Structure 1
Amino acid sequence: MTFRLAENYPVDLYYLMDLSNSMKDDKENLAALGNKIAAEMVNITKNFRLGFGSFVDKVVMPYVSTVPSKLQMPCDGCEPPYSYKNQLKLDRNTSLFEEYVKKARVSGNLDAPEGGFDAIMQAVQCKTQIGWRDQSRKMLLFSTDAGFHFAGDGKLGGIVKPNDGSCHLDGTGKYTEAENQDYPSVSQISTKIRENSINVIFAVTEDQLNVYEKLSKYIEGSEATKLAADSSNIVQVIKNNYQRITSKVEMNTQFAENITVKFMSSCKTGGEKIETKSCEGLSIGDSVTFDIYVSVSDCPAEVSKRSRTFSIYPVGLSEKLEISLDLICECDCEKPDKEQSKSPLCNGNGTFECGQCTCDQGRYGKKCECDGSQSTSDESIALCRNPNSTSQVVCSGRGECVCGRCECLPRRAHSAQKYSGEFCNCDDYSCSYHDNQLCGGHGRCDCGTCKCDEGYEGDSCSCPKSKETCFTSKGLECNGVGVCECGVCKCNATSDYKGPTCEECPTCPGKCEENKNCALCMGFQTGKYTAEDCKKYCQHVTLVDEINEEEVKQRDDLNLCQFSDDEDDCRYFFTYKYVENNNVEVQVQKTKVCPESVNILAIVLGTIGGIVFFGLVLLVIWKIYTTIHDQREFAKFEKETQNAKWDTGENPIYQQATSTFKNPTYAGK
């Protein structure tokens, strides 16, 4: 097979832009660069058309604010939010691109990811509205600064219906099923892009580049490239990616299950051929030759599957090479010496070989019992019409009428699943699924209806008949405050009980707390209840002589409660147990356990006596201490007195009290 890159090959470029408020500056730059984009592409091919679409997100919470004022204007000068809108159909008049981009207004949403997958699905599938040509290189430029929602995210907004992969645009170009269908999956996007031969360029900001590079690995013919923060490099992005896409050819196969296809080529080098299915660096007019080797490892058991058609195509282009394959599956038992011509096992109308009949021309059936000349007669065809159907279509349109009997066709091409029933009116594979299993894995599909195994019921056999999972540890169904449906408790909306068996109630008082007033009034005629209240609300309470705590602990059905009576500070005991319909039976011990009375006089006298006694002991200790201390001081004084000498000698500082003076005048007289 030879591939040649043609000159002026038609190009359809559809610019799909995120118009959330964060892309406002990008939109203005895109409008200014619109003519430059067209000029660059015209230099590459004169057969060029340009279109424009925009997207935001689903108009439901939590993706978009549903406050009435925000639905009208989510931000200053913004357009009301929408999922996807085809602003400009692909057109040769590229000057319209600038006009429509300028006219489009940004909008707003709440969460970070956008609804880009919804937009891609509609832009790919709505061929007429977008204007895709059958013979052209289709390019979808996806521009955003955020991540993307995908299948399953719709549940956050209450949307559970899967995306059907179909076109749903109204007359104004808006996507109408955004609020009814979930986001597409990566697999759906990949399949639709491959079926429509579209090259996708994810032009995203640097912070999102890693995510979209991973995404492009799962989408055939897609590329991820860096976009400037304000989209100012968009012209260069388009030019570079177009040249990268067109300078490379990659071959792929379709409907080649169980067939091995190998490609050998030397690309443009002219050297030794190697195993490869892609060549790069092509220019206009270059040719690349691929040698294709097809092999089949085994032969289908069904003769009808021995004739196959599969296709080889260049990724991103609608051209393809179809190959019809006929498998010749011969065995030793088919050799002429082992054949039985006109065999009685074939009603004399065929050859018996390899355990089955090969019918003569004009004969059909496993034993060649059918005359092919009668297969189109009115009588034979009438036998293949369902008398209970108003359409009267032969074999319900799902089979062929052979020999007055319907031979049902496969449900899909190359599928082992066939329609069933006398008139092929049954589909044994269309029953409800549960946990990704037909009939929940607990039944079989019979003509579109699940026939459940013993112990299961429901449309998808997902409901166990047994209520075992609904009983509490005390043997009550849903704790008496709910009903068991499909093996799961549905608690009463008016009750505060929740949980798998309706036992959880964080705000409910315990049974001990609920019954303590009844225990007081019935057992001791005290508490908040009057005699009338006690008679009215406490009929479930009985009196017993004594409650054995050890016995209560050993029984699973009894629960012990004990409280103090505010009136006399005595403790009282009672037990409760669950009986039928979640009712409670209470037994109260007739006697209370009260603390012993206190002898106040003895305590007072004892206290006073203690104080006096300890006071006397302290005084005696103090007296003994002071006596010993004084004796020590006196002994010390006496010792110092004995050692003193100044009292027996002359005191050096002593002076006489009298003084003697001599008058020299009377000296000697």
Structure 2
Amino acid sequence: MSATRGLVLLCLVGVAWCQRAEQLLAQNPCSSKTTCSDCMRTPTCAWCFQPSFKEPRCFNPAMEGGTGGCDEAYIFNPDNQRSIDPMYNRELSRAHGRGMSASSYEESQSSMSGSFGAGGAAGAAGAAGAAGGLVQVKPQRVKLQLRMNQMQKLDVAYSQAQDYPVDLYYLMDLSRSMKNDKEKLSTLGSLLSSTMRNITSNFRLGFGSFVDKLVMPYVSTVPKNLISPCDGCAAPYGFKNQMALSMDTETFDDAVARADVSGNLDAPEGGFDAIMQAIVCKQQIGWRDQVRRLLVFSTDAGFHYAGDGKLGGIVQPNDGECHMEDDSYTHSTLQDYPSISQINLKAREHSINVIFAVTKEQISVYEELSKHIEGSSSGVLSEDSSNVVDLVRDQYNKISSSVEMKDNSSNAVQIVYYSSCLGDKNNVIQTNKCDGLKVGDVVQFTAEITLKECPADPREWRQQFQIHPVGISESLLVELDMLCDCPCEHKGHHAYDDSPSVCNGFGISACGVCLCDPGRFGKACECSAQGGGASAEQERGCRPLNSTTGPLCSNRGTCFCGQCECNKMDDPSMVISGPYCECDNFTCDMNKGLMCSGPDHGLCACGKCECTDEYSGPACQCLKSQEPCRSPENGKICNGNGKCVCGKCVCNVNDDQKYSGTFCEKCPACTGKCKEYKDCVLCEVHKRGPMFDMEAPPGLECGNCSLNPVIEEGKIEANETRGEYLCSFYDDEDCLYVYVYSYSYTQHLNVRAQKDRDCPPKVFILGIVLGVIAAIVLVGLALLMLWKMVTTIHDRREFARFEKERMMAKWDTGENPIYKQATSTFKNPTYAGK
């Protein structure tokens, strides 16, 4: 009997120990990783490649004493690294002199092109300081080494340089309806140039025009109409570069004057073809590097976009390349119109700000279009384009006073931007855009860069991407090395051995473990996929931490040659995994019927929710950001009266103050500063209280009180919309006095007080006492009189009854009424004595 109890107890202890081991494995995802690569892709994990190491090689240093029992010389645990070469950390050009001539600027651009070749704008920007150019982004180049899901912060500074060069290309619709606009524009070139030169001394201007594709139904293909579609009209065309960018204003006026209007059939124009060529034909248009590039698009009509070309039999998609010969677009009849996304992509790649200058009838369409093209804006053009100078100046100021940070990182990288813009540096919010900037203002952005996944192709583990302000040709070039594997998994490392003597000749030894050939598995590749069964020794590998007790494969799989083959669930989306089948993706905490609150919040991994960067909590139900708790009134988190928990305010509650409301803005029991002002209000308004001194000179009866309240007749109430607080107190006479206080925008205190106090009516105590005594006496007398009256009536009734009975009594005088004889005589009335 005792032996049976001991066996049962041993089994229970074994089951409990195994459950505890599985629990530890679920809490520590490191221990389930069997290769160094998998270990490196798990945050906070380190790998031990020490020979003959018996413990799990992948461990969490924070949970296992720092080394996990491994010699430090054999631990591989790289951290994120960031390095900036001083050569690419040039200071911002915040106060560059206005004396930089166009020729010296061109020389600096040539110098940069010669130094970097085809390195692109980012490379040129990185050496801007070296080449004597302007620097608006700091730093210019950074090297990063990142592990998966370990965030790295990177500070990026931006400042608009003074006298920054501007290239402005005016692209105009020259269909017949724009004839008056063309004539007006030909006289505004000098004014436009002089206006822009007030902004920058290095300004260049260019001009191009467009009509539409030379096929039906866009233009008439009748031969004579192809020569002149209307009276005084030139032959139609797709796009022409009338004048490359130049500092010569007179050339611009002449180019506009020489350009003839033409005609087409349908209302929309071929403006997208012209925009695409004006953007990508850098050499023909004359775009410079490291300048602010503006493309002003002027029209009074709508636009054709991708797909419209098939109406004219053109089905070949637009390739986004330059097709210009003799300053004319050659593929107008060969390629379809570009799509909006293509325009956006090319405008972003070439850092061009598109300004849509359109008539009032078309402004709503182009305002919607500008939302889909980075760095673009729109403005209303007058009927004859007379306001184009003011429009360009205003739109330029609008563009230059705002900065928006973007990047072209791959899907494997996640970047989140934070900044305080021009506000308090301690008040940082999640944003990639700041407005209201002036020349010389420095805006600091913090980019939180996280490697979300390692690409399947190892050649993609080294990438480059740019972080750049929208519409600016300068950028920060980030050279990223992804730490997705270990050096000991490559030839040449002392922990790498591919000789036939290791792993039973069926694999290689890397980082202390065997990487088996296909069809082989086991710690030493001793098992074959065609084999079966498992020895007692091999079964040890199917239990957590090589234990000799407990279920094999957590009772959720089959032990095969020392390794677990986990059970398959009926639902393919439900997976059991882990070296001991201890993990799954379907037993995590749920919230609102969704596991880990849904895939947008987190994913279930090894029985535990792995939340995205925006959420936390056991079920990823808590929003990390405190923005939902920020009060719209003052910008404070929960108005300073609570804490933000899971994206909601948990308000402070104590004996004196109990806050409530969405932002803890309500506190019915709070007095605020009522107590602070009550004595002064009582003194200044009602001339009484502890602050009132009757012997003081006039005007000084209330000492230091200087509230100067506004005294109002009648009952007063607080106006919550004006931020007023109602206060009421009782004085020493039990009179209620009421007032309200508020603060103006300049934090000036305003007090309104009720003129009259609400006092209780006076009570005459002596009269009440005498009245009570008199009432008691009177009640007593009344009771006595009532008692006397009742007894008198009762006696009189008894006496009357007595008299009545006495009168009715008939006494026999011959007999003694008291004495009764012993005999009685009765007479029969029938016989009457006969």
TM-score, normalised on structure 2?
A: 0.41
**1:303-334 superposed Cα distances (whole Å, 9 cap, x missing partner):** 43333322211111111112222333469x98
CA contact (8 A) 2:273 2:337 kept: yes
State the 1:196 CA deviation: 0.8
Distance in 2, matches of 1:121 and 1:304, equals 33
Q: 1:164-183 counterparts in 2 under 5 A? A: 164-171=319-326, 173-183=327-337
1:352 is the counterpart of 2:510: yes
2:55 counterpart residue number: none
2:694 counterpart residue number: none
1:660 counterpart residue number: none
User: Among residues 325, 331, 335, which one is paired with 2:480 in the alignment?
Assistant: 325
1:296 counterpart residue number: 451
1:239 counterpart residue number: 393
Q: Helix, strand or coil: the match of 1:312?
A: strand
User: Among residues 110, 114, 132, which one is paired with 2:265 in the alignment?
Assistant: 110
Which is greater in Rg? 1
1:58 is the counterpart of 2:225: no
**1:205-238 superposed Cα distances (whole Å, 9 cap, x missing partner):** 1111111112112111111221112211111110
2:275 counterpart residue number: 120
2:338 counterpart residue number: 184
Residue 357 of structure 2 aligns to which amino acid in structure 1? Answer: A
Distance in 2, matches of 1:304 and 1:54, equals 45
More RCO (CA 8 Å, sep 6+)? 2
State the 1:140 CA deviation: 0.3
CA contact (8 A) 2:214 2:236 kept: yes
**1:391-449 superposed Cα distances (whole Å, 9 cap, x missing partner):** xxxxxxxxxxxxxxxxxxxxxxxxxxxxxxxxxxxxxxxxxxxxxxxxxxxxxxxxxxx
> CA 1:71–1:297 in structure 2 vs 1: closer, same or farther (change >3 Å)?
closer
Q: 1:19-30 counterparts in 2 under 5 A? A: 19-30=174-185
CA contact (8 A) 2:507 2:515 kept: no
1:79 is the counterpart of 2:234: yes
**1:100-129 superposed Cα distances (whole Å, 9 cap, x missing partner):** 111111100000000001101111111111
Distance in 1, matches of 2:514 and 2:383, equals 72
Distance in 2, matches of 1:74 and 1:10, equals 40
Distance in 2, matches of 1:243 and 1:11, equals 12
**1:493-515 superposed Cα distances (whole Å, 9 cap, x missing partner):** xxxxxxxxxxxxxxxxxxxxxxx
User: Among residues 243, 246, 263, which one is paired with 2:417 in the alignment?
Assistant: 263
Residue 105 of structure 1 aligns to which amino acid in structure 2? Answer: D
> CA 1:106–1:330 in structure 2 vs 1: closer, same or farther (change >3 Å)?
closer
**1:154-191 superposed Cα distances (whole Å, 9 cap, x missing partner):** 111111222121111112x1111111111111121111
State the 1:352 CA deviation: 3.1
Q: How many matched pairs?
A: 355
Distance in 2, matches of 1:97 and 1:46, equals 17
CA contact (8 A) 2:167 2:287 kept: yes
Distance in 2, matches of 1:330 and 1:97, equals 59
CA contact (8 A) 1:79 1:105 kept: yes
1:213 counterpart residue number: 367
1:96 is the counterpart of 2:254: no
CA contact (8 A) 1:342 1:348 kept: no
CA contact (8 A) 2:507 2:514 kept: no
Distance in 2, matches of 1:38 and 1:340, equals 68
1:131 is the counterpart of 2:308: no
Q: 1:92-491 counterparts in 2 under 5 A? A: 92-171=247-326, 173-271=327-425, 272-329=427-484, 341=497, 344=500, 351-353=509-511, 356=515
State the 1:5 CA deviation: 0.7
State the 1:266 CA deviation: 1.1
CA contact (8 A) 1:343 1:352 kept: no
State the 1:274 CA deviation: 1.2
Residue 97 of structure 1 aligns to which amino acid in structure 2? Answer: F
State the 1:96 CA deviation: 1.3
State the 1:9 CA deviation: 1.0
**1:239-274 superposed Cα distances (whole Å, 9 cap, x missing partner):** 001001111111001133221111111111234111
Structure 2, unmatched stretches of 5+, are 1-155, 490-494, 518-834
Residue 313 of structure 2 aligns to which amino acid in structure 1? Answer: G
Distance in 1, matches of 2:243 and 2:496, equals 71
Q: Helix, strand or coil: the match of 1:290?
A: strand
Distance in 2, matches of 1:340 and 1:2, equals 44
Q: Helix, strand or coil: the match of 2:416?
A: strand
TM-score, normalised on structure 1?
A: 0.50
State the 1:21 CA deviation: 0.3
Q: 1:594-609 counterparts in 2 under 5 A? A: none
State the 1:349 CA deviation: 11
Q: 1:511-550 counterparts in 2 under 5 A? A: none
> CA 1:31–1:357 in structure 2 vs 1: closer, same or farther (change >3 Å)?
farther
State the 1:69 CA deviation: 1.9
Distance in 1, matches of 2:311 and 2:270, equals 13
Structure 1, unmatched stretches of 5+, are 359-669
> CA 1:175–1:297 in structure 2 vs 1: closer, same or farther (change >3 Å)?
closer
Q: 1:555-634 counterparts in 2 under 5 A? A: none
State the 1:299 CA deviation: 3.6
Residue 131 of structure 1 aligns to which amino acid in structure 2? Answer: G
State the 1:301 CA deviation: 4.6
**1:322-355 superposed Cα distances (whole Å, 9 cap, x missing partner):** 2222333469x98xxxx77455368799633566
1:42 is the counterpart of 2:200: no
Distance in 1, matches of 2:398 and 2:482, equals 39
Q: Helix, strand or coil: the match of 2:221?
A: coil
State the 1:30 CA deviation: 0.9
CA contact (8 A) 2:508 2:514 kept: no
Residue 464 of structure 2 aligns to which amino acid in structure 1? Answer: T
State the 1:146 CA deviation: 0.5
Distance in 2, matches of 1:302 and 1:177, equals 37
Residue 278 of structure 1 aligns to which amino acid in structure 2? Answer: K
2:744 counterpart residue number: none
Distance in 1, matches of 2:514 and 2:338, equals 50
**1:438-486 superposed Cα distances (whole Å, 9 cap, x missing partner):** xxxxxxxxxxxxxxxxxxxxxxxxxxxxxxxxxxxxxxxxxxxxxxxxx
Residue 352 of structure 1 aligns to which amino acid in structure 2? Answer: A
Distance in 1, matches of 2:166 and 2:182, equals 23
